[in-house]
Structure formats: structure tokens, C-alpha cells
Amino acid sequence: MESSEEREIEERTPPSSEIIHGAIHEKGMSELRKPTPALAWSGLGAGLAMGFSFLVTALLHSHLPHDAKWAPLVYALGYPIGFVIVILGQQQLFTENTLTATMPLFSGKRVLGNVLRVWGVVLAANVVGALMFALAVAKLDVVDAETFESLKKVAEQAHALTFAKALVRGIFAGWLIALVVWLLPYAGTAHVAVIFILTWIIGAAHFPHIVAGSVDGLFLVFTGHHSLGKFFSEFFVPTLIGNIIGGTLLVAAINYLQAKAGKKDEEESGEGIIIA
């Protein structure tokens, strides 16, 4: 067979789970090597940028008939905006780190302390950024009165959950975000489509995301519609737990085991693939 034909076959062959795992493992090691200030500044930028998911959703909400059953599916199209900005901009988002930073840990590396450092710094910075955005739209004349009302309605809809519902739905949100990370390395020119579709599902289904939800939750706190205690007890704690479970157990752990099993099969057939 001619070499050009072999190259074309190789280009058209989708990457194996082992190769995808290897790419994410290397990204995880890169994340763990980043200094704390770099993580913090990037995380702050990500928290601020995630506010645009809230803002654009409210903008669409303000221009749609509120009594139409299809309207929530349309204004949920604003939800992916923050994720597109953050992920394409290579900023630090907590739910991404639940996958990438833990891959080396699953692979046997002694990096637990470093993983906890990355998680803590990124989460804190994300929440500070979310708080700053929420404070700005709540207290400054950022939007018109109609959009401001839509901000309140969108936020109230997103936070009408009990602890148990926030926990369970948070698992699905963490699961979907981690799938975005898993699919992106070899998505080719479809990066935006992958991010947009999967995060739209999160918004349309009202699956709480710890950073995006912190923006509208803190907006409700700053406008006097929720107490800070309610924000933490009914949203932040259960959503954080759910997102971590969805990202680490349903994606990171399962895909690691899949890649490990694939490696074993290849080694037994004499075509071993090295997984870090």
C-alpha cells in the first residue's frame, strides 16, 4: 500500500481511548506544575467570564415570551457563552480541573497534595470572579430595567432546588463538563460545537454548575432575594459535591479504567501502548 494511502487511513482513524487518556494525562501534569499565582489569576478571569453565561441568558429571556413552553430552550442558548470564552481561552475552571488534575493521581502519581492545591486555588479564584461579576450587575447600572428583571427570574429558576436535587443534578453537570474535556483533544474544528452542545444541555436541564451557578446565586444575595447561608447550604455545598462526583468518578475514573484495560489488551497482543 502506498504511503499516502496509509497516511490518509491514519488521519481518518479516530484516536483510541488510550491516546485521549494520554493527552489529558499530560495536560493534567502541566496543570499541576503551574505556580499558584498563575492558577489564581487565570481562575479569577474564568470566574468573571462565566458571568456572561448568566447575562446572555437573561438578555435572551427578556426578549422572549415567558409563557411559551419552548422559550426556556431558546434562552438557555446563552448559557454556553461563558464556557466557550473560558475553555477556548485556556483559563482555569474548577470543573475542568476535576478531570485533568486527577488523571495523574489515578495513574499512580503521588500528587494528591498538589491536586488539592490546584482545586483549592482554582475554586477560590473562580468564586471570587463570580462574586465580582454578580456584584457589578446587581449594584451598577450595567443593564436596562427589563433585563435586570430577567436576571432575577433566571437566577430564581436556577436556584429553586433542594439540597438533594442540587446534589443529584450537580453530578450530571460535572459529568457533562468532564465529557467536554475528554472530547476536546481530538475534536478538530468542532471545539465550539462540542462545548456549546454539552453546556447547553446543562443550562436547559437546570443542572447546577458550581461556578456558573455562583454568579446568579450571589446576584440573588446582593439583591436581597437570598441569604448567604441559603446560598451555601442549598446550592454551593451540594453542587460542589455533585460536580466533583460527576467529574472524577463518572468520567475520570471510568475513562482511566477503560484506557488501562485497552493498554492491557494491546500488551497481550504484542502491540503495547504506553500510558503514563
Enter the C-alpha cell of residue 217.
446565586
CB-neighbour burial class of residue 124 (10 A; exposed 0-12, middle 13-18, buried 19+)? middle
64 close to 74: Cβ distance less than 8 angstroms: yes
Note the pLDDT tens digit of each residue in 233-254: 999 999 999 999 988 877 666 7
The reported pLDDT for the residue numbered 257 is 67
**Residue 165: its pLDDT value, please?**
96
Residues in the chain where the model's pLDDT stays below 70: 1-18, 21, 251-253, 255-276
pLDDT at 241: 96
Question: What's the rounded Cα separation, in Å, for the pair 97 and 178?
Answer: 9
Distances (CA, A) of 99 to 26, 88, 121: 12, 17, 16
| Confidence at residue 204, expressed as pLDDT on a 0 to 100 scale | 96
The CATH topology of domain 16-140+154-263 is Glycerol uptake facilitator protein (1.20.1080)
Q: Quick one: DSSP state of residue 64? A: S
* pLDDT at res. 99: 74
- Residue 135: helix, strand or coil by DSSP? helix
**What contacts 98, CB < 8 A, 6 or more positions away?**
119, 174, 178, 243, 244, 247, 248, 252
- For the segment 153-173, what is each residue's pLDDT rounded down to a tens digit? 999 999 999 999 999 999 999
How many CB atoms are closer than 10 A to CB 106? 18
Tell me what pLDDT residue 96 has: 81
Q: Cα–chain-centroid distance for residue 99?
A: 10
Distance of alpha carbon 13 from alpha carbon 178, whole angstroms: 23
Q: Where are the domains of the chain?
A: 16-140+154-263
Contacts of 235 (CB under 8 A, 6+ apart): 159, 161, 166, 208, 213, 214, 217
Give the whole-angstrom CA distance, residue 92 versus residue 19: 23
